[in-house]
Structure 1
């Protein structure tokens, strides 16, 4: 009987390990209140908080959040380095940004932050699964950097998931908790994108769910873009 109980215990541990996630390292940034008043947005701070909350439901998550004036260019890069440097090969690292975007990058609280600077900061980790989620107007323009930047990105293993095409705004409504893209992203990562029900959201599943639902919410005015050198089966989250 004792031998049978021991075998059952080992089997139980193996089942648990099969569903255990590798560690997730997240830096979540949301800037709604830019210097002055003309550039302010409504929901980015809430977007960043929602994404942080989502990942913190995973007991293996390490998260950092920067909101509004705390999200300076140097603070963001420093947070990426410090949060991602302890990741191992099979971990997942995620940089989430909600705020203004520009051709080639993001608008931090105190100025421009290029995609290349973010990619360089993320290179501190040799993790196989690196992701950038951006909920920003015209975020698709990040694909239009210099030829050198494009070549470097194609060699890297960073998945870029951008909220809109280069000629589109990323829609937010005051009656919603989050922008259209973040709303669908959070729903997807909570399990709704898991079409084969294997408890793992892949890059392909994520794109289909978010893209379909953002297009429906926006009445076909906003189209998310996924770009990079990665497998369709790349794990995004185990939920």
Structure 2
């Protein structure tokens, strides 16, 4: 669902007198406060963001450095010794380095040198002042609101920085709200330059969105589809007049961010800065190791007691994933390198024997792909023990008939040497399976199996995506591709190219996870929310888009 970007109206009071800028600057076109700020820019290199406004919201507080620029022509009249900085009220001269740059001076504050200067969650104030040889004084403060709620699904969750500018007079002083649909993380380029499609929803509480630009180019605006409206969290103030915006832009060599600016008719502005990342030359598409896969799908259960009912499409999902992996665009997995178990073949002893013999085959430089589809549940007698239910599982005896998730964790930790591991879990934890439903659910009593799964594979080089969040139903039905779980249906869409946000014909783990999260949410009216922890493996290429 949409996390509406908070809007802040800030009044800045300066103790300094406004002074005229150099003659080359028109003093009638900007306010006195803006004149004071004109020579300066704040840069956050780890976010790829250049901040110009007085206040910005950023996704992280654990930054190692902050850069401040003093720009020409102002810098030509300012000496090194007349530049001063402060972080959260403390002079930061002991951690700063000043250097000449083509456009003026670059002041780098190395925050990690002294822990007391580290940014903290919440409000942080960064200040810079300078005086020139004519006695003119310049000053700027930048309020950085760092971090947010865990799992925030607004633009901050994507690593973006957001700036706001409100007009000084008039009834409407609230900047527009922006929700990003694409890209969901940083823009990923496979080379020095490239293209990216930017799409999102913009709204304004006055209902008067005037324009949206992407890197200065006008974006198309259209009525936001009805399905977009549920992106606003229940109980929150809804921005009216929502509009869908879209633009494909060229990203030149050296660009560090994509800038989106949304303005309303009153002149209020919101700017979103999306970082641009470039992959190393040896990207995963050049992967030369072997690819192994373990795929398990259980729709039919031998013992239908204790609330355990058959599923309709878990086995179909598993087959579809297996067949996709065999194709070139899915990585061209060799049939002998895919361990596939479904229904009657997916017994507890069968999977234990297979795991013991199969997993050690994957060497350090190989890739391991794991897909599980079926019921997941805690032991009704020991709820702290979580299980993936096999074909021959008895609910009354899970300890001896179901696959303990801790056992799977230990096998992966001890027997897997591969440094590239991707795990996709299409099970659920739900409030039960009773009652008539249009779609069915994959799970038994209320449980935490997907939360547990996200904790299993946090090690460096591993990534995990689960089909739903805590206490949610993972849905399946005919409406998805004629018969699939919504998670796997969206997964196959993503692999076939829908998740290729940077149009480089490669689907990375990061792109996959971002697409899955939004697609499943929209398809289920936000009752099912996939959970992802891609970690350091987000650039791992999982699929190649077939060219048409």
Q: TM-score over 0.5 for the alignment?
A: yes
Alignment correspondent of 1:26: 293
Return the alpha-carbon distance in structure 1 between the equivalents of residues 356 and 544 of structure 2.
24
> Which residue does the alignment assign to 2:510?
204
Q: Deviations over 1:31-79 (max 9, x none)?
A: 1111234511100110110010010114343212111121112322332
SS in 2 for 1:212: helix
Q: For residues 449 and 471 of structure 2, what CA distance do their matches in structure 1 show?
A: 11
Q: Which secondary structure does the structure 1 equivalent of 2:416 belong to?
A: coil
Whether contact under 8 Å (2:461, 2:537) holds in the other structure is no
Cross-structure match for 2:325: 55
* Distance (whole Å) between structure 2 residues aligned to residue 125 and residue 172 of structure 1: 31
- Name the CA shift for 1:200/1:105 in 2 (closer, same or farther; >3 Å): farther
Aligned Cα root-mean-square deviation (Å): 2.8
Q: Which has more strand, going by share of residues? A: 2
Match of 2:418 in 1: 127
> Deviation per CA, 1:153-205, whole angstroms, max 9, x where unpaired?
44464322110112111111135321100001112123321222334322210
Return closer, same or farther for 1:88/1:194 CA change in 2, 3 Å cut-off: farther
Give the alignment partner of residue 108 of structure 1, picking from 387, 390, 400.
Answer: 390
Query: CA offsets, 1:73-131, max 9 Å, x none?
Result: 23223323433322232322111111101243411222321222112222322111112
Computing the radius of gyration over CA atoms, which structure comes out larger, 1 or 2?
2
- CA distance in structure 2 between the aligned counterparts of 1:18 and 1:136, rounded to whole angstroms: 29
Match of 2:527 among 221, 225, 229: 221
Match of 1:73 among 345, 348, 351: 348
> Within 1, Cα distance between the matches of 2:366 and 2:496?
19
Unpaired segments of 5 or more residues in structure 1?
Answer: 1-16
Cα 1:177/1:21, change in 2 over 3 Å: farther
What pairs with 1:1-239 in structure 2 (closer than 5 Å)? 22-37=289-304, 38-58=308-328, 59-61=332-334, 62-103=337-378, 104-109=386-391, 110=393, 111-123=401-413, 124-138=415-429, 141-142=448-449, 144-145=451-452, 150=455, 153-155=457-459, 157-175=461-479, 176-227=482-533, 229-239=535-545
SS of alignment partner, residue 402 of structure 2: strand
Residues 185-235 of structure 1, C-alpha deviations (whole Å, 9 max, x = no match):
112123321222334322210111111111111121111011365333233
How far apart are the structure 2 equivalents of 1:238 and 1:119? 29
- In the other structure, the counterpart of 2:268 is none
- Structure that is richer in helix per residue: 1
Larger RCO, structures 1/2 (Cα 8 Å, 6+ apart): 1
Q: For the Cα contact (< 8 Å) 1:92–1:236, is it kept in 2?
A: no
How many angstroms apart in 1 are the aligned matches of 2:473 and 2:509?
Answer: 23
Which piece of structure 1 moves more, 113-122 or 62-71?
113-122
Q: Which whole-Å CA distance do the structure 1 matches of 2:387 and 2:536 have between them? A: 20
Stretches of structure 2 that go unaligned for 5 or more consecutive residues are 1-283, 379-385, 394-400, 430-442
Closer/same/farther in 2, CA of residues 137 and 144 from structure 1, 3 Å limit? closer
Deviations 1:6-36 (A, max 9, x none): xxxxxxxxxxx96566432111111111123
